[in-house]
Amino acid sequence: VQTWFREVTAELKRVVKPTPEETTQMMLVVIGFILIVGLWFALWDLALTHLTFKIEQWAQQVRR
């Protein structure tokens, strides 16, 4: 039982304190996620801006 407990404790310490390679990989994943979310919102903003512009043009033509 004591050996099993030491193995579990050692594994938990390893999981809690990742290696430098794992830390780098996690940071790259986070940076990639932030970039993808930022691009998604930028494209969505462009699409909505374009759609709003078209609707305003159409509304002005209808008023005339």
pLDDT of residue 39: 98
Q: Where are the domains of the chain?
A: 2-63
pLDDT of residue 17: 77
User: CA–CA separation, 60 vs 58, rounded Å?
Assistant: 5
pLDDT of residue 10: 83
pLDDT of residue 9: 85
pLDDT of residue 64: 78
pLDDT of residue 15: 67
pLDDT of residue 20: 86
Three-state SS for the chain is CHHHHHHHHHHHHHHHCCCHHHHHHHHHHHHHHHHHHHHHHHHHHHHHHHHHHHHHHHHHHHHC
In order along the chain (64 residues), what is the average pLDDT of each group of 10 residues? 86 77 92 98 98 96 88
